[in-house]
Amino acid sequence: MNARSKYRISAAILFILALVCFGIATRTAFIYKQYKAEIFDNMKQTAREQTQATATDLDELIQKTFAYGQQTAQALSQETLTPTSIQEILQNKPVEITGLGVLLNNAIAYYTEKDGKQQFLTHKLLSQTQPIEEKSLESEIGVKFAHIIRLAAQQSQPLLITDPETNMRELIFAIPFKTKDSSEGIVFSTLAVAHLNHLLLTLSLGRHGYWSITDKNNVFISHPHKELVKKSVNINNILNKQNIQLSDDATFLEYHNEITQAPSWLFFANIPSAQMRLGGVFDPREVIAEADATQIRKKLILMTFFIILGLVLLILSITLWIISYGLARRHKNITMWVGSSLIAILFFGGVGTFWHIRNNDPTYEKEITSIHNKGELYNFLDAYQREKSNLPAKIDESHADKLYRLALYRYKEGRYVPTGILVSDIEFKDTDKLDFVGYIWQRYFDGIHDDISRGFVLPQMTTVSSLAPTHVKEISRIKEGKVETIVWEVHATLNQRLNYRLYPFDTKNLQIRMQHRDFEKDIILVPDLDAYPRIAPLTLPGIGPHVHPSNWEIIRSFFGYEKMPYNTNFGLYSYGPFGVYKTIEKSNIPELSFVITAKRSLLDTIVNHVFLIFVIFIILFVLLVTHTLQGFGWTVGTCASIFFSTILAQMSFRESFPSNEFVYLESFYFILYIVTVALLFTSLFTMARKDPTELGPDQYPIIKVVYWPIISGMLFFITFWYLF
């Protein structure tokens, strides 16, 4: 078999392998698209159902408010009324209903929530026959309120008002009735928009986005961005700027949300009893993060791998096919160099594509139980208490009972201390230490926290700081009623558990762990979620606006719990006559953590490391091209210089990472070692085979031709191995 036949057979085999790679890439692309579409479809369906279910819950609460007003009207019409009996009936209202009142005999009796307390308020209204000077004595608030109540009684739907008594935005229902003595009156019940907001924050969604409520004119009456409510912004004003039209029957649209400007899903569901509409904003990035993002990324990388490999095999096949026609040597060299250049470009392009995929789709480490809304928090605490008491993990309850259980303000139950944090600055001062500057606050309640000390500890804190001395300084202590709020300024250096194997694509979960000061007591710190207007991780709750750590990008923040596996009880046990009878197991007590997820900036890595490595590759290539002209001694000296320079560069690089395994970028240095040694042996082999007087720059051109494809190929396969 002659050389031409061998070339053609090899070209045919390579062509078939290229087709196989393209087939695998096509199949992977189909699976990737199908898998991602399935995730998105499932998430959209879940989001649609969640929005509709939440709207139904709100509608039931609104209907309950109206129904309770009707029951009260019926009760008042059947009794002999006195001021005392009216007050008793009104004060029996459920806590989820904001206010309940009656307008009767030119007087208003109103039992409502005001300034965080349930208060009984009255107004005396004078008749139209009273003299003007006597009318001046009547309450201006009462007159205004009476007008609103009479207007509401004429409506079949609730009115959205600003309560003259509380200055809160409320829905008001009014039901006319007659007493036993045929006096005409009006019972009215109110539901504050703030109660609806609380229910929304408690129920769900904090993980993926936020809720909003619009009235029948599409004007915001509830939104995390308070200015939109304050200025009565119409949602159409936001959508029109993006050339999106909102129809009355719309249930879904895609737009850039008004808070983060990120591409988002907006689902709508009607609240028919109040002629309002609930909007749920879902961030697809967070949806992907909650799904199996690793599988999505792997499919995308695998598809890229086989596309690049198929193109490389195709170019090799075409190159061999052209060479097999026996063209002139000069044309043969040009063909090889063109093929070599295209292959190297493809491999380098593949490395860049892998980097892009990994950088835009980082891996989120799930080491702790994350908390994104009150519903998740209360369910976690309930499960912990049931586990602690050896009760069943699940309890049977109706949807209404569950809703009521989650909606109640329960931070004051048990030994729970609401705790919040605001990070004003963070900086890496070492590979496993984080300098943290910020504020931490706690809320204590009289009668519940009386025997509990005020304060907290940071278990990761070290006394060594390169920025400033570690300190925790109290800067505010405010007592309002039975609630005491304490704020501390904190500057601490915290030890971190970090993994650098995928450097520079290592996404870090930076934890700020917090424990209560009373170490020996079973006290659980709970996140003060009401202190944050938005708690979706991508909106960075608890992160100050000027936090920009050098060479890092903060992408998420959230609260969570983790049980630390302590192998001691810290001496927290009691002795009886026969031995130990009581211990406190700290390993069973969940610790509150504030987690900041950050990814590294690639620019710093490229400038400090990749650029240097690439320059050395170029120097080695120049040495390969010219070594036959310079002589073996010069080549040995140059290779030795490059070799030891690479060793020093790697040692400096290695000192930056306290890792007992090789990191991804470190493999680039080993490729440099291999290439340097290979070049040295190539030079030795060349000098041994040829008379020095016959050597020239065109000796062994194949070695020069394959230089860049081999290097780029090694980088390509190593990158695939680490990032896949």
Amino acid at 45: Q
pLDDT tens for 540-583 read 899 998 888 888 889 889 999 988 777 776 777 677 677 666 67
Residue 184's pLDDT is 87
Q: Does residue 280 register a pLDDT over 80?
A: yes
Position 369 pLDDT exceeds 70: yes
Q: Are 364 and 599 in contact (CB under 8 A)?
A: no
- Please indicate whether residue 362 or residue 551 has the higher confidence score (pLDDT): 551
Beta strands in 298-415 (DSSP E): 369-371
pLDDT value at 292 more than 70: no
The pLDDT, as a whole number, for residue 522 is 80
Residue 62 tokens, joined: 């609104």
Residue 219 sits at φ, ψ, to 5 deg, of -95, 135
Given a contact cutoff of 8 angstroms between Cβ atoms, the answer to whether 80 and 180 are in contact is yes
E-strand stretches of 21-96: none
pLDDT computed for residue 352 by the predictor: 92
What percent of the chain has pLDDT above 90? 21
The pLDDT tens digits of the residues spanning 373-405 come to 887 888 888 888 777 766 665 556 555 556 666
CA distance 479 to 473: 18
Q: Identify the CA nearest to 627 among candidates 679, 554, 588.
A: 679
Q: In this structure, which amino acid lies at residue 184?
A: E
Cα 69 from Cα 92, distance rounded (Å): 12
Using DSSP's 3-state secondary structure scheme, residue 393 falls into coil
> Whole-number mean pLDDT of the chain?
82
pLDDT beyond 70 at 695: no
pLDDT at 134: 39
Lookup: tokens for 507: 């996404």
d(Cα 41, Cα 354) in Å, to the nearest integer? 26
Give mean pLDDT, residues 312-319. Answer: 91
* Count of C-beta atoms within a 10 Å radius of residue 246: 18
Q: Which of 428, 177, 319 is nearest to 702 (CA)?
A: 319
Q: What is the structure's pLDDT at 687?
A: 65
Helix axes of 293-323 and 707-723: crossing angle, nearest 10 degrees: 160
Residue 630's pLDDT is: 64
Cα-atom radius of gyration of the chain, to the nearest Å? 36
Helices 193-203 & 374-388 angle (0-180, nearest 10): 60
**CB 460 within 8 Å of CB 494:** yes
pLDDT band at 443 (very low <50, low <70, confident <90, very high): very high
* Segment 579-599, tens digit of pLDDT: 666 676 776 788 999 999 998
Angle between helix 399-407 and 193-203 (nearest 10): 110
pLDDT digits (tens, 9 = 90+) for 231-276: 889 999 999 889 988 888 888 999 998 887 888 899 999 999 888 9
Residue-wise pLDDT tens digits, 36-53? 888 888 888 888 988 898
- Count how many Cα atoms sit within 13 Å of the Cα of residue 172 in the half-sphere of its side chain: 28
Q: At what angle do helices 374-388 and 399-407 cross, to 10 degrees?
A: 100
Which pLDDT value is given to residue 580?
66
What is the average per-residue pLDDT within 475-483? 89
Going by C-beta distance under 8 Å and a sequence separation of 6 or more, which residues neighbour residue 343?
Answer: 312, 315, 316, 708, 709, 712, 713
**Residues in Cβ contact with 73 at an 8 Å cutoff, skipping those fewer than 6 apart:** 175, 176, 177, 187
Question: Is the confidence at residue 293, as pLDDT, over 60?
Answer: yes
Greatest pairwise CA separation for the chain in angstroms: 130
Contact at 8 Å (CB) between 233 and 242? no
Mean pLDDT of 4-27: 88
Tell me the sheet residues that pair with 123: 108
Average pLDDT, integer, range 286-292: 64
What is the tens place of the pLDDT at every residue in 348-360? 999 999 998 888 7
By C-alpha distance, which of 568, 573, 544 is closest to 557?
544
Q: Is the dihedral of CA 629, 632, 637, 639 positive or negative?
A: positive
574 beta partners: 582
pLDDT per position as a tens digit, 297-308 = 888 999 999 999
Read off the pLDDT of each residue in 615-632 and give the average, rounded to a whole number. 78
| Distance in angstroms (rounded) separating the CA atoms of residues 489 and 395 | 41
Tell me the pTM.
0.79
pLDDT at 206: 53
DSSP letter, residue 248: T
Per-residue pLDDT, averaged over 450-462, amounts to 88
Amino acid letter at 39?
A: I
d(CA 461, CA 512): 9
Tens-digit pLDDT profile for residues 121-176 = 887 765 544 443 433 334 677 888 888 888 988 888 888 888 888 888 899 999 99
Strand order, beta sheet including 252-256: 220-222, 209-214, 276-282, 263-271, 252-256
Identify whether 418 is preceded by a cis peptide bond (ω within 30 of 0): no
Condensed to tens digits (0 to 9), the pLDDT of residues 644-694 reads 888 888 887 877 766 667 888 888 989 998 888 888 887 777 666 555 444
